[in-house]
Amino acid sequence: MLAHIKLSEITKSFGALLVLNGVSIEARSAELIALIGPSGCGKTTLLHIIAGLVPPDSGAIYLNDVLVPNARSHVAYMQQKDLLLPWRTALKNALLGPEIAGEDLRRAEAYARQLFEEFGLAGFEDTYPVQLSAGMRQRVALIRTLLSQREILLLDEPFGALDALTRAELLEWLLRAWEKSPQTTLFVTHDVEEALKLADRIYVLSERPARVKAIMTVSLPRPRDPTHPDFVHLKAELLRTLRSP
């Protein structure tokens, strides 16, 4: 089942520090939404609120038009660090979600091995995290997230620490996986091109306390060529919006 999630007028403070100031965002079923804005503006806090890691001070969360405190049981969350368990092999790390959920591990393993093949990791299933490169570890973490098979994906700058070439490859893998099995996805990034390559819509957040400055619809067909004039035009427009007061 695909999920539709909507956050309405969300505010959040940590002590005297106001982080989110009436933020409203919406991700429709099977839509890929990018959140972009200055460092420290509250993008990660928004994902934490959706995942139920922290509560909002005020505002409302709707899942499939039903008011809920959070969407915890409906999300798979990939954070900035891969968070792989060092004592488990790559395959065992990927299978952590289905194992905890008590799912049929034979079926989950078959799907995991298929994803290892698609993500260029065939032959590394029994390798431990310390033996993998940073890019390979992130691929394992992404496979683990996809194996959770939740209706909503939360991705918090999962490739931000990687070199440009590895990041571009992982974005292509992510996009191919999403196109095969679309999930409602919220993707935090600082990278303008990354947002434009992936997203159906982009929410531009202001400096802290965050508010929504603009919402940009990206209707270009995928895969998107960064050198195409339409892409270049959207990139210039998005940069102007980010730099505006």
Calpha distance 86→90 (Å, rounded): 9
Q: Model pTM?
A: 0.91
Q: Between vectors from CA 204 to CA 35 and to CA 232, what angle results, nearest 5°?
A: 95
Q: Which two tokens stand for residue 191?
A: 């990278």
Which of 148-157, 159-168, 171-180, 232-241 has the lowest average pLDDT?
Answer: 159-168
Choose which CATH entry (3.30.70.260, 3.40.50.300, 3.40.50.880, 3.40.50.150) describes domain 5-243. 3.40.50.300
Residues 6+ apart with CB under 8 A from 167: 159, 160, 194
pLDDT digits (tens, 9 = 90+) for 52-99: 999 999 999 999 999 999 999 899 999 888 889 999 999 999 999 888
The pLDDT mean for the chain works out to 91
| In the chain, where the domains are located | 5-243
